[in-house]
Amino acid sequence: MPDSISSEGTSPLSVFSLENKLALVTGGGSGIGFHIAECLVQAGAKVVLTGRRESVLQEAVEKLGSQAVYFVHDITELGTIPKLVADIEETHGPLDVLVNNAGINMKKHAVETTDADFDRILQTNLHAVFAITRECGKRMIERKSGSIIMITSMAALYGIDRVVAYSSSKSAVAGMVKALATEFSPHHVRINGIAPGFIETPMMLTAMNGDPARRDKAMDRTPMGTWGKPDDIGWAAVFLASNAAKFITGISLPVDGGNSIGF
Ligand code: NDP
């Protein structure tokens, strides 16, 4: 087999393998995060899930099997992040992959969005993402190895009404990806974003089903004309975490059925 196809092992597909890798997925108990964790496990990784609801995390780990464990953790409690990461690494070994998936949204007109609303969204989607990335990044830099993935949004790429705080937070994270890539990449720690389009999650479907005009508009804006599945994001995460993406850093990859093309 030529080196360009299979420099990592015996099969061309082994370049996507995450065998013996440890991945942390924030908000991994439900929604897109759970499916990211499921794909990482299928690629061979061991996964650590975090979230605030223990029952949800327990159920997720039961579904994922022995390759998954959880830590109950609220990422907005910034001061607890160094201990979380230290506890994970002491118990399960060094983290190879961080997926910053946990996030919250809020639909409100800009003029009705209070400072408290804005702070709440930015605390979860931006400050906490930076704090956990800094902690994991520091350790990965010492080991000269790691891959960090931020789940952003198409709201980071173009204007969507009534999500000003969410949009601001996700755009800032897309900027963070580029800024951190300049500092982390020389130390062999890659950092990339994934910008999901309209993905079929309970949260998204509930929001859209209550608003059929918005649902139709979403599909009109999607050249492929279908909803994305959560594992579309999961497989993109496997790719970016793996050696198949070993020369990719500082990008935001749209996974959106063509939504971001604009037409
Ligand atoms: P869900 O609401 O279904 O899941 C969010 C997850 O984040 C939950 O597991 C939740 O767990 C966790 N979470 C939220 N707040 C915190 C917190 N303070 N501390 C720890 N965990 C937290 O959302 P989705 O799966 O739809 O979204 C996942 C990511 O994808 C988000 O970043 C979102 O912005 C992004 N995205 C989603 C799109 C979609 O179409 N669904 C489109 C574009 C982007 P718990 O409540 O137990 O803490």
CATH code assigned at 103: 3.40.50.720
Give the count of domains, the chain. Answer: 1
Q: Smallest Cα–Cα separation from 153: which of 216, 107, 222, 199? A: 199
Label residue 160 by pLDDT band (50, 70, 90).
Answer: confident
Q: Is the pLDDT of residue 263 over 70?
A: no
Taking residues 13-33, report their average pLDDT: 97
Q: What is the mean pLDDT of the chain?
A: 93
Q: Whose CA is nearest to atom 3 of ligand 1?
A: 31
Considering the domain boundaries, does residue 262 fall inside one?
no
Query: Within 10 A of 88 (CB to CB), how many other CB atoms are there?
Result: 20
Identify the pLDDT of residue 13: 87
Considering the domain boundaries, does residue 243 fall inside one?
yes
Tokens representing 96 are 């190879």
Considering the domain boundaries, does residue 170 fall inside one?
yes
Poorest-confidence range of 28-37, 72-81, 172-181, 205-214? 205-214
Ligand 1 pocket member 193 (CB < 6 A): no
Q: Is the pLDDT of residue 247 over 90?
A: yes
Identify the pLDDT of residue 3: 39
Considering the domain boundaries, does residue 4 fall inside one?
no
State which residues form the domain around 85: 18-255
Judge whether 70 counts as a catalytic residue.
no
Q: What is the pLDDT of residues 4-17, one digit of tens each?
A: 444 455 677 899 99
Distances (CA, A) of 156 to 20, 68, 96, 238: 33, 31, 26, 22
Q: Are 228 and 257 in contact (CB under 8 A)?
A: yes
Ligand 1 pocket member 31 (CB < 6 A): yes
* Spacing, Cα 129 to ligand 1 middle (Å): 12
* Spacing, Cα 160 to ligand 1 middle (Å): 18
* Spacing, Cα 9 to ligand 1 middle (Å): 35
Return d(Cα 260, Cα 108) in angstroms, integer: 23
**Which pTM was predicted?**
0.95
Considering the domain boundaries, does residue 8 fall inside one?
no
Identify the pLDDT of residue 1: 34
Considering the domain boundaries, does residue 261 fall inside one?
no
Report the interhelical angle of 128-143 vs 81-92 (nearest 10°).
40
Distances (CA, A) of 132 to 24, 127, 167, 185, 198: 10, 9, 20, 17, 26
Ligand 1 pocket member 199 (CB < 6 A): yes
Q: Is the pLDDT of residue 200 over 50?
A: yes
Distances (CA, A) of 8 to 17, 189, 246: 9, 18, 11
Q: What is the pLDDT of residues 117-156, one digit of tens each?
A: 999 999 999 999 999 999 999 999 999 999 999 999 999 8
Considering the domain boundaries, does residue 13 fall inside one?
no
Taking residues 62-79, report their average pLDDT: 98
Identify the pLDDT of residue 4: 43
Label residue 218 by pLDDT band (50, 70, 90).
Answer: confident
Return d(Cα 184, Cα 123) in angstroms, integer: 23
Taking residues 67-83, report their average pLDDT: 98
Considering the domain boundaries, does residue 2 fall inside one?
no
Angle at 177 between CA 72 and CA 202, to 5 degrees: 45
Q: Smallest Cα–Cα separation from 91: which of 73, 61, 70? A: 70
